[in-house]
Structure 1
Amino acid sequence: MINTEIKKIYEDGNFLVIDKPAGLETAAEVKTDEPTLVDWLVSNYPNIVKVGPDPARPGVLHRLDKNASGLLVVAKTEAAFEHLSKQFKERTIKKEYTVLVHGEVSQDEGVIEFPIARANSGRFAALPLGSESGRLAITEYEVTKRFKNFTLLSARIKTGRTHQIRVHFFALGYPVVGDKLYRSKKTKEPLLPRLFLHASKIGFSDLDGTWREFQSDLPEELKDFLNNL
Protein backbone atom coordinates (compact mmCIF):
# COMPACT_ATOMS: atom_id res chain seq x y z
CA MET A 1 0.00 0.00 0.00
CA ILE A 2 1.48 3.35 -1.10
CA ASN A 3 0.58 6.14 1.29
CA THR A 4 2.28 8.86 -0.75
CA GLU A 5 0.24 10.50 -3.49
CA ILE A 6 1.36 9.76 -7.05
CA LYS A 7 0.63 12.78 -9.21
CA LYS A 8 -0.31 12.15 -12.84
CA ILE A 9 0.97 14.91 -15.14
CA TYR A 10 -0.31 13.50 -18.44
CA GLU A 11 -2.10 10.40 -19.66
CA ASP A 12 -3.46 9.04 -22.92
CA GLY A 13 -3.99 5.55 -24.28
CA ASN A 14 -0.27 4.95 -24.79
CA PHE A 15 1.70 7.00 -22.29
CA LEU A 16 1.60 8.05 -18.66
CA VAL A 17 3.79 10.81 -17.22
CA ILE A 18 3.95 10.82 -13.43
CA ASP A 19 5.67 12.95 -10.80
CA LYS A 20 7.43 10.50 -8.47
CA PRO A 21 7.79 11.62 -4.85
CA ALA A 22 11.06 11.18 -2.98
CA GLY A 23 11.16 8.07 -0.79
CA LEU A 24 9.51 5.77 -3.33
CA GLU A 25 11.56 3.17 -5.19
CA THR A 26 10.78 2.95 -8.91
CA ALA A 27 11.15 -0.84 -9.00
CA ALA A 28 12.52 -3.35 -6.51
CA GLU A 29 15.97 -4.77 -7.28
CA VAL A 30 15.21 -7.69 -4.97
CA LYS A 31 11.92 -8.92 -3.54
CA THR A 32 10.79 -6.72 -0.66
CA ASP A 33 7.68 -5.73 1.25
CA GLU A 34 8.43 -2.06 0.66
CA PRO A 35 5.99 -0.54 -1.87
CA THR A 36 7.31 0.64 -5.24
CA LEU A 37 6.07 2.68 -8.17
CA VAL A 38 5.66 -0.59 -10.09
CA ASP A 39 3.24 -1.81 -7.40
CA TRP A 40 1.16 1.33 -7.94
CA LEU A 41 1.25 0.90 -11.72
CA VAL A 42 0.13 -2.73 -11.60
CA SER A 43 -2.63 -1.90 -9.10
CA ASN A 44 -4.00 0.98 -11.18
CA TYR A 45 -3.25 -0.37 -14.66
CA PRO A 46 -3.51 -4.20 -14.51
CA ASN A 47 -2.91 -4.63 -18.25
CA ILE A 48 0.51 -3.02 -17.94
CA VAL A 49 1.91 -6.36 -16.74
CA LYS A 50 2.05 -7.36 -20.41
CA VAL A 51 4.13 -4.34 -21.46
CA GLY A 52 7.88 -4.69 -21.94
CA PRO A 53 10.28 -7.61 -21.59
CA ASP A 54 10.85 -7.39 -17.82
CA PRO A 55 7.94 -8.55 -15.62
CA ALA A 56 9.62 -6.92 -12.61
CA ARG A 57 9.23 -3.45 -14.17
CA PRO A 58 6.38 -3.52 -16.70
CA GLY A 59 6.03 -0.36 -18.78
CA VAL A 60 9.04 1.24 -17.09
CA LEU A 61 11.84 2.45 -19.37
CA HIS A 62 13.87 4.57 -16.95
CA ARG A 63 14.01 5.14 -13.23
CA LEU A 64 14.75 7.72 -10.58
CA ASP A 65 16.75 7.09 -7.43
CA LYS A 66 14.55 6.32 -4.43
CA ASN A 67 15.36 9.61 -2.67
CA ALA A 68 15.06 11.73 -5.82
CA SER A 69 11.79 13.06 -7.22
CA GLY A 70 10.28 14.18 -10.49
CA LEU A 71 9.08 13.12 -13.90
CA LEU A 72 8.96 9.61 -15.31
CA VAL A 73 7.31 8.48 -18.54
CA VAL A 74 5.69 5.05 -18.55
CA ALA A 75 4.49 3.06 -21.56
CA LYS A 76 0.95 1.68 -21.29
CA THR A 77 1.12 -0.37 -24.50
CA GLU A 78 3.75 -2.52 -26.19
CA ALA A 79 3.79 -0.16 -29.20
CA ALA A 80 4.50 2.78 -26.91
CA PHE A 81 7.20 0.81 -25.09
CA GLU A 82 9.02 0.00 -28.33
CA HIS A 83 8.62 3.58 -29.56
CA LEU A 84 10.11 5.05 -26.37
CA SER A 85 12.82 2.38 -26.19
CA LYS A 86 14.06 3.48 -29.62
CA GLN A 87 14.23 7.09 -28.47
CA PHE A 88 16.15 6.18 -25.32
CA LYS A 89 18.57 4.12 -27.41
CA GLU A 90 19.05 6.97 -29.89
CA ARG A 91 19.32 9.50 -27.02
CA THR A 92 16.58 11.74 -28.36
CA ILE A 93 14.61 11.75 -25.10
CA LYS A 94 15.01 15.04 -23.22
CA LYS A 95 15.69 14.63 -19.50
CA GLU A 96 16.53 17.65 -17.39
CA TYR A 97 17.18 17.75 -13.65
CA THR A 98 17.41 20.46 -11.01
CA VAL A 99 20.26 19.69 -8.61
CA LEU A 100 21.92 21.47 -5.69
CA VAL A 101 25.53 20.58 -4.95
CA HIS A 102 28.00 21.39 -2.20
CA GLY A 103 30.62 23.94 -3.25
CA GLU A 104 30.67 26.82 -5.71
CA VAL A 105 30.97 25.50 -9.26
CA SER A 106 33.29 27.89 -11.10
CA GLN A 107 32.26 27.25 -14.72
CA ASP A 108 28.88 28.60 -15.83
CA GLU A 109 28.32 25.53 -17.99
CA GLY A 110 30.10 22.36 -18.95
CA VAL A 111 29.98 18.74 -20.08
CA ILE A 112 31.08 15.83 -17.88
CA GLU A 113 32.06 12.71 -19.82
CA PHE A 114 33.72 10.41 -17.31
CA PRO A 115 32.84 6.72 -17.92
CA ILE A 116 31.02 5.07 -15.01
CA ALA A 117 31.67 1.61 -13.57
CA ARG A 118 30.36 -0.37 -10.61
CA ALA A 119 32.61 0.02 -7.56
CA ASN A 120 31.70 -1.49 -4.18
CA SER A 121 29.06 -1.32 -1.46
CA GLY A 122 26.36 -0.34 -3.94
CA ARG A 123 28.45 2.53 -5.28
CA PHE A 124 29.51 3.47 -8.78
CA ALA A 125 32.66 5.35 -9.74
CA ALA A 126 33.66 7.80 -12.45
CA LEU A 127 36.74 6.67 -14.36
CA PRO A 128 39.35 8.80 -16.14
CA LEU A 129 38.57 9.81 -19.73
CA GLY A 130 39.84 7.21 -22.17
CA SER A 131 39.39 4.30 -19.76
CA GLU A 132 38.65 1.04 -21.52
CA SER A 133 36.43 -0.14 -18.71
CA GLY A 134 33.24 1.57 -17.59
CA ARG A 135 30.25 2.73 -19.61
CA LEU A 136 29.93 5.97 -21.54
CA ALA A 137 28.16 8.66 -19.49
CA ILE A 138 27.47 12.24 -20.60
CA THR A 139 26.08 14.99 -18.36
CA GLU A 140 25.63 18.58 -19.54
CA TYR A 141 25.08 21.29 -16.95
CA GLU A 142 24.42 24.99 -16.53
CA VAL A 143 24.68 27.01 -13.33
CA THR A 144 21.31 28.47 -12.34
CA LYS A 145 22.38 30.27 -9.16
CA ARG A 146 25.33 30.36 -6.80
CA PHE A 147 25.01 30.53 -3.03
CA LYS A 148 27.70 30.62 -0.37
CA ASN A 149 29.08 27.04 -0.35
CA PHE A 150 26.35 25.73 -2.71
CA THR A 151 25.47 25.82 -6.42
CA LEU A 152 22.06 25.26 -8.02
CA LEU A 153 22.36 23.62 -11.43
CA SER A 154 20.31 22.44 -14.36
CA ALA A 155 21.66 19.09 -15.62
CA ARG A 156 20.78 17.20 -18.79
CA ILE A 157 21.83 13.60 -19.21
CA LYS A 158 22.49 12.09 -22.61
CA THR A 159 22.94 8.63 -21.11
CA GLY A 160 21.05 6.97 -18.27
CA ARG A 161 23.65 5.32 -16.06
CA THR A 162 22.82 4.41 -12.49
CA HIS A 163 23.51 7.35 -10.13
CA GLN A 164 24.99 9.25 -13.11
CA ILE A 165 24.47 12.83 -11.93
CA ARG A 166 25.48 11.98 -8.37
CA VAL A 167 28.65 10.16 -9.47
CA HIS A 168 29.68 12.82 -12.00
CA PHE A 169 29.39 15.79 -9.66
CA PHE A 170 31.01 13.86 -6.80
CA ALA A 171 33.95 13.13 -9.13
CA LEU A 172 34.32 16.89 -9.72
CA GLY A 173 34.28 17.53 -5.97
CA TYR A 174 30.70 18.80 -5.77
CA PRO A 175 28.57 16.14 -4.05
CA VAL A 176 24.79 16.44 -4.33
CA VAL A 177 23.16 17.87 -1.21
CA GLY A 178 21.48 15.12 0.81
CA ASP A 179 23.60 12.32 -0.69
CA LYS A 180 24.65 9.79 1.94
CA LEU A 181 26.45 7.52 -0.55
CA TYR A 182 28.61 9.91 -2.57
CA ARG A 183 30.23 12.41 -0.23
CA SER A 184 33.72 13.06 1.07
CA LYS A 185 34.76 12.93 4.71
CA LYS A 186 34.91 16.72 4.67
CA THR A 187 31.23 16.98 3.74
CA LYS A 188 28.97 17.40 6.75
CA GLU A 189 26.15 14.98 7.46
CA PRO A 190 23.36 15.32 4.88
CA LEU A 191 21.45 18.54 5.44
CA LEU A 192 18.35 17.04 3.85
CA PRO A 193 16.62 13.70 4.52
CA ARG A 194 16.42 13.26 0.72
CA LEU A 195 18.51 14.08 -2.34
CA PHE A 196 18.33 17.57 -3.76
CA LEU A 197 17.79 16.01 -7.18
CA HIS A 198 14.55 16.58 -9.07
CA ALA A 199 13.67 15.46 -12.61
CA SER A 200 12.15 18.76 -13.68
CA LYS A 201 11.61 18.27 -17.43
CA ILE A 202 11.02 15.39 -19.82
CA GLY A 203 10.34 15.43 -23.54
CA PHE A 204 9.68 12.70 -26.08
CA SER A 205 8.07 12.02 -29.43
CA ASP A 206 4.54 10.59 -29.39
CA LEU A 207 3.54 7.67 -31.63
CA ASP A 208 2.28 10.11 -34.27
CA GLY A 209 5.52 12.10 -34.17
CA THR A 210 4.20 14.93 -31.99
CA TRP A 211 6.85 16.24 -29.59
CA ARG A 212 5.54 16.30 -26.02
CA GLU A 213 7.34 18.08 -23.19
CA PHE A 214 6.41 18.29 -19.53
CA GLN A 215 7.69 20.22 -16.53
CA SER A 216 7.55 19.73 -12.77
CA ASP A 217 8.16 22.40 -10.13
CA LEU A 218 10.44 21.76 -7.19
CA PRO A 219 8.71 20.08 -4.24
CA GLU A 220 8.03 22.35 -1.28
CA GLU A 221 10.77 20.84 0.90
CA LEU A 222 13.39 21.72 -1.74
CA LYS A 223 11.99 25.24 -2.21
CA ASP A 224 12.12 25.74 1.56
CA PHE A 225 15.72 24.54 1.69
CA LEU A 226 16.77 27.02 -1.01
CA ASN A 227 14.95 29.87 0.71
CA ASN A 228 16.96 29.22 3.87
CA LEU A 229 20.37 29.34 2.20
Structure 2
Amino acid sequence: MKNTITIKLENQGQRLDIFLSEYLTDYTRSQIKKMILSGDVLVNNKEASVHKFLKEDDKINISLNSSKTVTKTTNKSKDNQKDNQDIFKDIKLISKTDDFLIIEKPVGLLVHPTDKNETNTLVDWLLSKYPNIKNVGEDPARPGIVHRLDKDVSGLMVIPLNQKSFEFFKQKFKLRDIDKRYTALVHGEVSKNTDEITFFIGRSRSKEGIFAARPTKSGDINDKDKQAITEFSVLKRFKNYTLLEIKILTGRTHQIRVHLKAYGHPIVGDKLYLNKKIKMKRDLSRIFLHAQHLAFVGPDDQKYDFSSPLPEKLRSFTKSLKEQPEIK
Protein backbone atom coordinates (compact mmCIF):
# COMPACT_ATOMS: atom_id res chain seq x y z
CA MET A 1 0.00 0.00 0.00
CA LYS A 2 1.30 3.43 -0.96
CA ASN A 3 0.45 6.65 0.80
CA THR A 4 1.07 10.11 -0.65
CA ILE A 5 1.21 13.19 1.54
CA THR A 6 1.49 16.81 0.36
CA ILE A 7 3.20 19.07 2.88
CA LYS A 8 1.18 22.09 3.97
CA LEU A 9 2.59 25.47 4.95
CA GLU A 10 2.08 24.72 8.66
CA ASN A 11 4.44 21.73 8.40
CA GLN A 12 7.15 23.55 6.47
CA GLY A 13 10.51 23.36 8.24
CA GLN A 14 9.63 20.17 10.10
CA ARG A 15 12.08 17.31 9.91
CA LEU A 16 11.03 14.29 7.84
CA ASP A 17 11.33 11.65 10.57
CA ILE A 18 9.57 13.81 13.16
CA PHE A 19 6.72 14.64 10.75
CA LEU A 20 6.20 10.96 9.88
CA SER A 21 6.26 9.88 13.52
CA GLU A 22 3.28 12.19 14.08
CA TYR A 23 1.53 11.02 10.89
CA LEU A 24 2.16 7.26 11.17
CA THR A 25 1.07 6.73 14.75
CA ASP A 26 1.19 2.91 14.51
CA TYR A 27 4.94 2.98 13.87
CA THR A 28 7.78 3.70 16.27
CA ARG A 29 10.39 6.39 15.57
CA SER A 30 13.04 3.75 14.97
CA GLN A 31 10.79 1.92 12.47
CA ILE A 32 10.12 5.16 10.60
CA LYS A 33 13.83 5.93 10.43
CA LYS A 34 14.49 2.45 9.08
CA MET A 35 11.79 2.99 6.42
CA ILE A 36 13.46 6.24 5.33
CA LEU A 37 16.94 4.71 5.25
CA SER A 38 15.74 1.65 3.29
CA GLY A 39 14.15 3.80 0.58
CA ASP A 40 10.51 3.11 1.47
CA VAL A 41 9.96 6.86 1.86
CA LEU A 42 10.48 9.20 -1.09
CA VAL A 43 10.31 12.99 -1.08
CA ASN A 44 9.46 14.39 -4.51
CA ASN A 45 10.22 10.92 -5.94
CA LYS A 46 13.74 10.91 -4.49
CA GLU A 47 15.26 9.10 -1.53
CA ALA A 48 15.80 11.46 1.39
CA SER A 49 17.80 11.54 4.59
CA VAL A 50 16.21 11.12 7.99
CA HIS A 51 17.12 14.72 8.80
CA LYS A 52 15.65 16.33 5.67
CA PHE A 53 13.70 19.51 6.41
CA LEU A 54 10.39 19.70 4.57
CA LYS A 55 9.05 22.51 2.38
CA GLU A 56 5.51 23.48 1.46
CA ASP A 57 4.14 21.33 -1.43
CA ASP A 58 6.77 18.60 -0.96
CA LYS A 59 5.24 15.24 -1.85
CA ILE A 60 6.04 12.27 0.38
CA ASN A 61 5.41 8.76 -0.97
CA ILE A 62 5.38 5.97 1.61
CA SER A 63 5.42 2.23 0.79
CA LEU A 64 3.90 0.53 3.82
CA ASN A 65 3.87 -3.02 2.43
CA SER A 66 7.50 -3.20 1.30
CA SER A 67 9.36 -6.34 2.31
CA LYS A 68 12.16 -4.06 3.46
CA THR A 69 9.93 -2.34 6.00
CA VAL A 70 9.77 -3.62 9.55
CA THR A 71 6.13 -3.65 10.69
CA LYS A 72 6.67 -5.27 14.06
CA THR A 73 9.01 -4.16 16.77
CA THR A 74 11.69 -6.84 17.10
CA ASN A 75 13.54 -7.57 20.30
CA LYS A 76 16.62 -5.93 18.78
CA SER A 77 14.77 -2.72 17.95
CA LYS A 78 13.31 -2.71 21.47
CA ASP A 79 16.82 -3.01 22.84
CA ASN A 80 18.00 -0.17 20.59
CA GLN A 81 15.10 2.03 21.73
CA LYS A 82 15.94 1.27 25.35
CA ASP A 83 19.60 2.12 24.76
CA ASN A 84 18.61 5.39 23.07
CA GLN A 85 16.20 6.30 25.86
CA ASP A 86 18.85 5.47 28.44
CA ILE A 87 21.47 7.74 26.87
CA PHE A 88 18.94 10.58 26.50
CA LYS A 89 18.14 10.20 30.21
CA ASP A 90 21.83 10.78 30.91
CA ILE A 91 21.70 14.26 29.34
CA LYS A 92 21.68 16.77 32.20
CA LEU A 93 20.14 20.22 31.84
CA ILE A 94 22.41 22.43 33.95
CA SER A 95 20.85 25.82 33.19
CA LYS A 96 18.30 27.45 30.87
CA THR A 97 17.77 31.10 29.93
CA ASP A 98 15.72 32.69 27.15
CA ASP A 99 18.84 32.66 24.99
CA PHE A 100 20.71 29.43 25.69
CA LEU A 101 20.92 26.08 27.45
CA ILE A 102 23.85 24.63 29.33
CA ILE A 103 23.78 20.85 29.15
CA GLU A 104 26.09 18.08 30.27
CA LYS A 105 26.59 15.62 27.42
CA PRO A 106 27.09 12.00 28.45
CA VAL A 107 29.83 9.86 26.98
CA GLY A 108 28.68 7.84 23.96
CA LEU A 109 26.27 10.46 22.59
CA LEU A 110 26.99 11.89 19.15
CA VAL A 111 26.34 15.65 18.98
CA HIS A 112 24.96 15.72 15.43
CA PRO A 113 24.54 13.28 12.53
CA THR A 114 27.44 12.80 10.14
CA ASP A 115 27.28 11.71 6.50
CA LYS A 116 26.27 8.27 7.82
CA ASN A 117 22.89 9.72 8.86
CA GLU A 118 23.12 8.53 12.45
CA THR A 119 19.99 8.91 14.54
CA ASN A 120 19.46 9.51 18.25
CA THR A 121 22.04 12.26 18.51
CA LEU A 122 22.02 15.30 20.78
CA VAL A 123 20.32 17.15 17.91
CA ASP A 124 17.44 14.64 18.03
CA TRP A 125 17.04 15.26 21.74
CA LEU A 126 17.10 19.03 21.26
CA LEU A 127 14.45 18.91 18.52
CA SER A 128 12.18 16.76 20.67
CA LYS A 129 12.50 19.07 23.69
CA TYR A 130 12.81 22.46 21.96
CA PRO A 131 11.15 22.23 18.48
CA ASN A 132 11.79 25.90 17.66
CA ILE A 133 15.53 25.22 17.65
CA LYS A 134 15.11 23.71 14.17
CA ASN A 135 15.58 27.22 12.70
CA VAL A 136 18.69 28.09 14.75
CA GLY A 137 22.16 27.90 13.23
CA GLU A 138 23.76 27.61 9.81
CA ASP A 139 23.23 23.94 8.97
CA PRO A 140 19.76 22.28 9.05
CA ALA A 141 21.40 19.03 10.18
CA ARG A 142 23.01 20.80 13.16
CA PRO A 143 20.38 23.15 14.63
CA GLY A 144 21.58 24.95 17.75
CA ILE A 145 25.10 23.52 17.55
CA VAL A 146 27.75 26.23 17.86
CA HIS A 147 30.50 23.96 19.21
CA ARG A 148 30.83 20.25 19.82
CA LEU A 149 32.34 17.48 21.89
CA ASP A 150 33.55 14.17 20.50
CA LYS A 151 31.17 11.25 20.96
CA ASP A 152 33.49 9.64 23.52
CA VAL A 153 33.92 12.85 25.54
CA SER A 154 31.55 14.00 28.28
CA GLY A 155 30.91 17.45 29.71
CA LEU A 156 29.46 20.91 29.35
CA MET A 157 28.06 22.46 26.17
CA VAL A 158 26.26 25.73 25.47
CA ILE A 159 23.27 25.49 23.11
CA PRO A 160 21.87 28.75 21.63
CA LEU A 161 18.05 28.83 21.53
CA ASN A 162 17.62 31.55 18.90
CA GLN A 163 19.52 32.85 15.89
CA LYS A 164 20.67 36.05 17.60
CA SER A 165 22.15 33.99 20.42
CA PHE A 166 23.75 31.61 17.91
CA GLU A 167 25.53 34.50 16.18
CA PHE A 168 26.58 35.88 19.57
CA PHE A 169 28.20 32.62 20.70
CA LYS A 170 29.69 31.96 17.28
CA GLN A 171 31.53 35.27 17.55
CA LYS A 172 32.52 34.52 21.15
CA PHE A 173 34.16 31.26 20.12
CA LYS A 174 35.82 32.92 17.13
CA LEU A 175 37.35 35.61 19.37
CA ARG A 176 38.36 32.97 21.96
CA ASP A 177 36.24 34.84 24.48
CA ILE A 178 34.84 31.75 26.21
CA ASP A 179 36.73 30.06 29.03
CA LYS A 180 36.40 26.36 28.23
CA ARG A 181 38.40 23.88 30.31
CA TYR A 182 38.77 20.12 30.40
CA THR A 183 40.12 17.52 32.80
CA ALA A 184 42.22 14.72 31.31
CA LEU A 185 44.28 11.87 32.70
CA VAL A 186 47.31 11.12 30.55
CA HIS A 187 49.86 8.34 30.43
CA GLY A 188 53.27 9.08 31.89
CA GLU A 189 54.56 11.56 34.42
CA VAL A 190 54.50 15.05 32.86
CA SER A 191 57.66 16.92 33.86
CA LYS A 192 56.39 20.51 33.60
CA ASN A 193 53.74 22.04 35.85
CA THR A 194 52.37 24.12 32.96
CA ASP A 195 52.99 24.28 29.24
CA GLU A 196 51.55 25.36 25.90
CA ILE A 197 51.31 23.09 22.84
CA THR A 198 51.21 24.89 19.50
CA PHE A 199 51.50 22.15 16.87
CA PHE A 200 49.46 22.62 13.70
CA ILE A 201 46.75 19.99 13.16
CA GLY A 202 45.67 18.38 9.91
CA ARG A 203 44.32 15.11 8.59
CA SER A 204 46.70 12.18 8.85
CA ARG A 205 48.45 11.43 5.55
CA SER A 206 48.93 7.77 6.43
CA LYS A 207 45.70 6.73 8.14
CA GLU A 208 42.15 7.69 7.20
CA GLY A 209 39.78 9.10 9.81
CA ILE A 210 42.32 10.52 12.25
CA PHE A 211 44.30 13.74 12.62
CA ALA A 212 47.97 14.44 13.16
CA ALA A 213 50.02 17.18 14.81
CA ARG A 214 52.77 18.94 12.88
CA PRO A 215 55.38 21.07 14.66
CA THR A 216 55.36 24.70 13.56
CA LYS A 217 58.95 24.57 12.28
CA SER A 218 58.76 21.12 10.70
CA GLY A 219 58.39 22.33 7.11
CA ASP A 220 55.69 19.69 6.68
CA ILE A 221 52.73 22.08 7.02
CA ASN A 222 50.37 22.66 4.09
CA ASP A 223 47.45 25.05 3.54
CA LYS A 224 44.94 22.49 4.89
CA ASP A 225 46.66 22.27 8.28
CA LYS A 226 45.35 24.63 10.96
CA GLN A 227 47.02 26.37 13.85
CA ALA A 228 45.99 24.96 17.23
CA ILE A 229 46.85 26.12 20.75
CA THR A 230 46.41 23.99 23.87
CA GLU A 231 47.45 25.05 27.38
CA PHE A 232 47.65 22.73 30.37
CA SER A 233 48.50 22.73 34.06
CA VAL A 234 49.09 19.72 36.29
CA LEU A 235 46.38 18.99 38.87
CA LYS A 236 47.84 15.78 40.33
CA ARG A 237 50.65 13.36 39.68
CA PHE A 238 50.31 9.61 40.02
CA LYS A 239 52.68 6.74 39.37
CA ASN A 240 52.72 6.42 35.54
CA TYR A 241 49.87 8.95 35.12
CA THR A 242 49.23 12.71 35.34
CA LEU A 243 45.92 14.53 35.83
CA LEU A 244 45.74 17.75 33.79
CA GLU A 245 43.50 20.78 33.51
CA ILE A 246 43.41 21.80 29.86
CA LYS A 247 42.36 25.02 28.16
CA ILE A 248 42.07 25.23 24.39
CA LEU A 249 42.37 28.55 22.58
CA THR A 250 41.29 27.03 19.26
CA GLY A 251 38.65 24.42 18.52
CA ARG A 252 40.14 21.91 16.09
CA THR A 253 38.73 18.41 15.66
CA HIS A 254 40.34 16.03 18.19
CA GLN A 255 42.65 18.90 19.21
CA ILE A 256 43.35 17.86 22.80
CA ARG A 257 43.74 14.20 21.89
CA VAL A 258 46.10 14.89 18.98
CA HIS A 259 48.17 17.48 20.86
CA LEU A 260 48.68 15.31 23.94
CA LYS A 261 49.67 12.32 21.83
CA ALA A 262 52.23 14.47 19.99
CA TYR A 263 53.43 15.82 23.35
CA GLY A 264 54.24 12.26 24.38
CA HIS A 265 51.42 11.83 26.90
CA PRO A 266 48.32 10.35 25.23
CA ILE A 267 45.01 10.39 27.08
CA VAL A 268 44.05 7.29 29.05
CA GLY A 269 41.39 5.25 27.27
CA ASP A 270 41.83 6.98 23.90
CA LYS A 271 41.81 3.97 21.58
CA LEU A 272 42.06 6.16 18.49
CA TYR A 273 45.29 7.94 19.43
CA LEU A 274 46.82 5.69 22.09
CA ASN A 275 50.24 4.22 21.38
CA LYS A 276 49.76 0.45 21.02
CA LYS A 277 52.90 -0.15 23.08
CA ILE A 278 51.15 1.29 26.15
CA LYS A 279 49.49 -1.49 28.13
CA MET A 280 46.53 -0.76 30.39
CA LYS A 281 46.29 -2.81 33.58
CA ARG A 282 42.64 -1.81 33.90
CA ASP A 283 40.18 -1.14 31.08
CA LEU A 284 38.48 2.23 31.54
CA SER A 285 36.07 1.56 28.63
CA ARG A 286 36.04 5.27 27.71
CA ILE A 287 38.42 8.16 27.16
CA PHE A 288 39.45 10.07 30.30
CA LEU A 289 38.49 13.51 28.98
CA HIS A 290 35.72 15.64 30.49
CA ALA A 291 34.66 19.23 29.65
CA GLN A 292 34.39 20.42 33.23
CA HIS A 293 34.26 24.23 33.06
CA LEU A 294 32.51 26.84 30.91
CA ALA A 295 32.50 30.59 31.63
CA PHE A 296 31.48 33.62 29.55
CA VAL A 297 29.63 36.92 29.48
CA GLY A 298 26.22 36.14 28.00
CA PRO A 299 24.02 38.02 25.50
CA ASP A 300 22.43 39.82 28.48
CA ASP A 301 25.87 41.09 29.64
CA GLN A 302 25.69 38.86 32.71
CA LYS A 303 28.65 36.72 33.77
CA TYR A 304 28.06 32.97 33.73
CA ASP A 305 30.27 30.31 35.25
CA PHE A 306 29.45 26.59 35.10
CA SER A 307 31.31 23.57 36.43
CA SER A 308 30.74 19.85 36.08
CA PRO A 309 32.35 17.25 38.37
CA LEU A 310 34.15 14.25 36.94
CA PRO A 311 31.79 11.34 36.21
CA GLU A 312 31.89 8.59 38.84
CA LYS A 313 33.76 6.16 36.57
CA LEU A 314 36.60 8.66 36.11
CA ARG A 315 36.72 9.57 39.80
CA SER A 316 36.84 5.91 40.73
CA PHE A 317 39.72 5.30 38.33
CA THR A 318 41.87 8.08 39.82
CA LYS A 319 41.21 6.77 43.34
CA SER A 320 42.83 3.49 42.34
CA LEU A 321 46.10 5.23 41.38
CA LYS A 322 49.11 5.88 43.58
CA GLU A 323 49.78 9.61 44.08
CA GLN A 324 53.26 11.03 43.53
CA PRO A 325 54.81 14.10 45.25
CA GLU A 326 54.41 17.49 43.57
CA ILE A 327 57.24 18.98 41.48
CA LYS A 328 58.15 22.46 42.69
- Whether the TM-score (by the shorter chain) exceeds 0.5 is yes
Match of 2:216 in 1: 129
CA shift digits 1:167-209 (9 cap, x unpaired)? 0000011110000110112112583111100000011221122
Match 1:24 to one of 106, 109, 114: 109
TM-score, normalised to structure 1, is 0.96
Q: CA deviation at 1:216?
A: 0.2
Q: Do the aligned residues in 2 keep the contact of 1:139 with 1:165 (CA within 8 Å)?
A: yes
Is 1:180 matched up with 2:280?
no
Match 2:236 to one of 145, 162, 176: 145
- How many aligned positions are there? 229
Report percent identity of matched pairs. 51
Q: Do the aligned residues in 2 keep the contact of 1:177 with 1:191 (CA within 8 Å)?
A: no
Q: CA deviation at 1:125?
A: 0.3
Match of 1:91 in 2: 176
**More displaced, 141-150 or 205-214?**
205-214
SS of the residue corresponding to residue 66 of structure 1 reads coil
Unaligned stretches of 5+ in structure 1? Answer: none
TM-score, normalised to structure 2, is 0.68
Name the CA distance, whole Å, in 1 between partners of 2:184 and 2:114: 25
Name the CA distance, whole Å, in 2 between partners of 1:212 and 1:88: 15
Name the amino acid aligned to 2:261: F
Q: Which has the larger radius of gyration?
A: 2
Relative contact order (alpha carbons < 8 A, sep ≥ 6): 1 or 2 greater? Answer: 1
Name the amino acid aligned to 1:138: I
Name the amino acid aligned to 2:198: E
Q: Do the aligned residues in 2 keep the contact of 1:145 with 1:152 (CA within 8 Å)?
A: yes
**More displaced, 96-105 or 128-137?**
128-137
Q: Which has the higher helix share?
A: 2
Q: CA deviation at 1:33?
A: 4.5
Match 1:214 to one of 303, 306, 312: 306
Name the amino acid aligned to 1:191: D
Name the amino acid aligned to 1:219: P
**More displaced, 26-35 or 56-65?**
26-35
Name the CA distance, whole Å, in 2 between partners of 1:79 and 1:33: 28
CA shift digits 1:138-175 (9 cap, x unpaired)? 00000000100000000000000000000000001111
Name the CA distance, whole Å, in 2 between partners of 1:117 and 1:141: 21
Is 1:108 matched up with 2:177?
no
Unaligned stretches of 5+ in structure 2? Answer: 1-83, 322-328
